[in-house]
Copies of this chain bind each other. A is one copy, B any other.
């Protein structure tokens, strides 16, 4: 049945993509699988992907619904992704007694595999253009608010109908800022089990210091298995390992789910991001980072509990700092200014296109409004508060028809929502209290400590005391309690004395008010973006790939080093260099934090082929969300595993540049070598085709 939905047409790909040469640079592009850059590939690299090649790669590609990419690597359901993509699950499966991060993990038999509490993996089965159906919901002259509601309703309708028809997860995705709408149908896997993870010491060797840097020496990999009906899933589509790896200069492909880019934004919007939005976000991120560090210092168990959040925070800080540096660099914005002025000049010359110019005025106003909207609202955050808020909102939303609800509460997404809401993943009261206390303090700073709503939230306590009281008093750590409240709907919520439910109910009107402002602004942005895309299509043709939307895309490039500060950076590192890197960070008290290789690697050193390539870089165009993406060769065989970009690649949110920007991968040869010599994973290796 699934096969019927493979609607991607290679013919269609060719038709739209040959125009691409003029405006894309070098190996730029996060291409839609239903609009692959075949002309570009043929012209630049002499390669013509067949329909079958593209279908196989798409169906072997996996999305980790919590924010990453992966691939199937065996007919027996094995899934390869990054250790840092699996980290959330590793954390949830760890306890004070058994820390899977520090120790690593290997299941010798399927029975030993550990079931993830709330993972959902998606396999993209088909894509269908539904632009007309979505757009026809919006009548001319509708206000932004009404247009938003109408479009939301139509999208919920399509998603529900298609889910009903196919049993697949169905998401309508807005592309080009809402110029096109495509329906993505996914097979869902929710029984996902951990098979192998190396120690964090090698997976994240070099820690925050080396993150987004190159050269790099990390085995940022782990392996899960999808199960169905209580046994390992049987898969038709999976990647084979290219044991010979790659050579410098070789053409490679990346199939993954880049999360978000903003390459089509106007220059004015980028200026607002540069001068106001990113600096404010960075302040918040650094605040969270320092808080989590402080919490971690309370002891080893505290450090374990906070580790994942801390990693995410540091990663986010470094990514945004890089993006800000890119926007502050002369050149980056200048290239946008040139591009935009050429485009708007062309519009000015054509009376039929002239009205589209107003989109730039709207975009400027929207960007300023977005800056102003930052730092308003009630920044109350903790996992348990989030659960309370979801329960309170769902109770109200579920009284409405699916199409009129806030989109996350629509019928089509209910299974995925409940998988997360009813997760048995542990919740740590000490960490919850620390996060909630800080967010309450932040609320006071933002609104002023004399704000009436803030005063009601605090109920006469200090932020720290109030947070302690709320977390100690709530029963929401218990999943059965959540289920009962959801089942009881509005009446149960109204009757609940749970302090977090009461708090969520208290702040819900304000939360909704601020959200509405944001949603309306997003709608105005979408309208402006739509007009800008009309302008681009009119002036330049449909040569451009859409901004990233955390859906499957194909990128390509070559394995290539680069020059930095006058020196040549080689494309490959080796296992031997990892040992040398540890040495260079050795102090009298041992290696610096995060620069100690695990004991297992030291023990295996004599057995290892030290010349084995460890990591490599290529010019493919990636961004956050691509983590865990398979890198394949012309034959569609697995050669690497994307896990990072170098520091120069952090401009990628706004602009692609291939001089120094590089995607960083684990070399598949290092994975095989380590599984064999360090982890002695005989059974696992035997499963690989």
Known: A283-B283, A297-B209, A328-B449. Is A303-B462 also a contact (CB below 8 A)?
no
Q: Are B461 and A275 in contact (CB under 8 A)?
A: no
Min CB gap A368→B, angstroms: 12
Asked whether any CB of chain B lies closer than 8 Å to the CB of A287, the reply is: yes
A584 within 8 A of B: yes
- Name the interface residues of A434-467: CB closer than 8 Å to any CB of B: 441, 444-445, 448-450, 460-464
This chain: copies in complex:
2
Tell me the A577-600 residues at the B interface (CB within 8 Å). 584-590, 592-594, 596
Measured between alpha carbons, how far is A107 from B520 in the docked complex, in Å? 71
A156 at the interface (CB under 8 A from B): no
Least CB distance from A625 to B in Å reads 24
Report if A299 contacts B (CB, 8 A): yes
Question: Is residue A569 within 8 Å, beta carbon to beta carbon, of the partner chain?
Answer: no
Considering only residues 241-294 of chain A, those with a C-beta below 8 Å from chain B are: 271, 274-275, 279, 282-283, 286-287, 289-290, 294
Chain B hits for A585, CB < 8 A: 299-300
Partner of A463, one of B102, B294, B299, B325: B325
CB < 8 Å: which of B286, B441, B463 contacts A286?
Answer: B286
Known contacts A286-B287, A290-B289; A444 and B275 CB within 8 A of each other: yes
**Interface size classification for chain A:** 35 or more
Would you call A283 and B294 a contact (CB within 8 A)?
A: no
Among B329, B445, B596, contact of A589 (Cβ-Cβ < 8 Å) = B596
Q: How far apart are the CA atoms of A656 and B225 in the complex, in Å?
A: 60
Contacts of A450 in B (CB 8 A): 271, 275
Q: Are B325 and A587 in contact, with the CB atoms below 8 A?
A: no
Contacts of A279 in B (CB 8 A): 445
Q: Is there contact, CB below 8 Å, between A441 and B328?
A: yes
Interface centre among A325, A586, A589 (most CB of B within 10 A): A589
- Please tell me if the beta carbons of A300 and B587 are within 8 angstroms of each other in the complex: yes
* B contact residues around A461 at 8 Å (CB): 330
- Assembled-state Cα–Cα distance A592/B463 (Å): 29
Q: Does A683 contact B (CB under 8 A)?
A: no
CA distance A448 to B275 in the complex (A): 5
Measured between alpha carbons, how far is A584 from B294 in the docked complex, in Å?
A: 17
Once the chains are docked, how many angstroms separate the CA of A137 from the CA of B448? 41
Is there a chain B Cβ closer than 8 Å to A207's Cβ? Answer: yes
Q: A298 interface residue, CB < 8 Å from B?
A: yes
State in angstroms the CA–CA spacing of A324 and B102 once bound together. 37
Residue A208 at the chain B interface, CB threshold 8 Å: yes
